[in-house]
Amino acid sequence: MNDASSAAIQKPGQILARGVCRHLVGHGFVTVEELVPTPGLRVDVMALGPKGEIWIVECKSSRADFTSDAKWGGYLEWCDRFLWAVDENFPTELLPDETGLIIADGYDAEILRLGDETRLAPARRKAMLRTFAVHAARRLQLLRDPGLALAAPGS
């Protein structure tokens, strides 16, 4: 009931993101949504793994949603792995072989392909961990303290 009502006001990509984030819990990852690694980029899901891995997952609900995204190449330099999350009807042959692939719905997901790994340099990894922490803590504070008028650039 709660799931259905919240799903009704979410965009298709956000519903996929929810399933992705639930699934990644089982792999020991924590996640945030709609994180801005650098001005002008906003990633659907950023995931932090048990060994410090940083993954970006972009959620695409349709062919048009994918083909209209000219920015995705810019995400690669901000993560160790880049993966797409799509639903079971998505034409996955559109997606580059070197990127990862997750099939998702609003409730769970399955990782079909991890894609290539390109390890972040230590300085950028540290900066991304900090960005992740700041983003998560700001969003959390806004939810646990609705009375807060938070000036939160970048969140």
Which residue stretch of 20-28, 55-63, 68-76, 77-85 sits at the interface with a second copy (rule: CB under 8 A)? 20-28
**Between residue 31 and residue 70, which ones bind a second copy under the rule CB under 8 A?**
31-33, 48, 52
Q: Measured from the CB of residue 73, what is the shortest distance to a second copy in angstroms?
A: 26
DSSP per-residue string spanning 64-127: HHHHT---GGGGGGG-SEEEEEE-TTS-GGGS-TTSEEEEE-SS-EEEEE-----PPPHHHHHH
- Residue 27, both tokens: 């792999």
Work out which of 27, 114, 130, 154 binds a second copy, going by CB under 8 A.
130
For residue 25, state whether it binds a second copy (rule: CB under 8 A): yes
Q: Measured from the CB of residue 97, what is the shortest distance to a second copy in angstroms?
A: 30
